Amino acid sequence: MKTRKKGDQFELVIPDKWKNVTIETILRNHWQAPKKLVHSMRMDKDVRVNGEPVPWNVPLEPGDTLQLHLFKEAKYDVTPTYGELNVLFEDEHLIVVNKPAGIDTHPNHPGETDTLANLVAFHFQANGESCRVLHIHRLDHDTSGAIVFAKHPLSKAILDRLLSERKIKRTYHALAHGRIKQKKGTISSSIGRDRHHGTRRRVSPSGQEAVTHYKVLAYKEAYTLVEVKLDTGRTHQIRVHMSHLGHPLAGDTLYGGKPVFHRQALHAAHISIPHPFTEEWIECDAPCLDDVGL
């Protein structure tokens, strides 16, 4: 799909497959934008076709240029903080970064300045972009790897939907204690809160559905290196399920692992994302930035 950024406008040439679609159907049906956002775009007159305002129910023709005022200046919702940022992919709609272990994805309290979102805000500021830092998903404080942020509300809405539809694919690498004999398998055990510990989760029949697929990649002395993919995204899911399997992650003392590393050996090594507008696949490999055997 042919697209480009022109100043504060996003331009998209209507493809043949969209013949006779309207602005309304593109926003509501194709992109499935939230009603509140669609209403705001209508009230602010953010949409034009070939440079002119047109009724939203008029059919468009292939070759028409749809213009959306997406790139509005917005105040950073987190404090920009200088620091090293490992960028894996970036365009005007989203950025994928490689989170180091030992920092939160975003502030949990007002005034926090030492999270990944703060580093992303500084990166935007340094590049002259005034936009909010909109995270699409999270990683635990001590888990490293690829994380996606959107740069404007429409991109966030589409990426949020793609994540909920499981079209954003994440692959993790983990180092587990012991030798996992079954070379691949699926753990389908619901996960809920541990009533006896504020931050722990546990396998619980009354918890939320959780499905984890694993595959043995290699055996390393007293450990097993596994590739893990998730059908669901529950808090601590991989850590809980691997512990439930009898093979807690190395370094994960919260779930029975031994303190052989300064953190749990878990890393989001790869992410695949269908681009929210061009629909081309974005493939990002995230190298592990510290020495936890991954």
Query: What SS3 class is residue 195?
Result: coil
Q: Which of 211, 220, 215, 206 is nearest to 240 (CA)?
A: 211
CB 155 within 8 A of CB 94: yes
Question: Which residue in the list 46, 104, 140, 160 is annotated as catalytic?
Answer: 140
CB neighbourhood size of 215 (10 A): 14
Indicate if 252 belongs to the active site.
Answer: no
Cα–Cα separations (whole angstroms), residue 197 to 54, 68, 128, 201? 58, 48, 44, 8
Rounded (5°) CA angle 282-288-291: 175
Residues 252, 177: Cα–Cα separation, whole Å: 10
Query: For strand 65-68 and strand 47-49, is the pairing parallel, antiparallel, or unpaired?
Result: antiparallel
Residues annotated catalytic, as ranges = 140
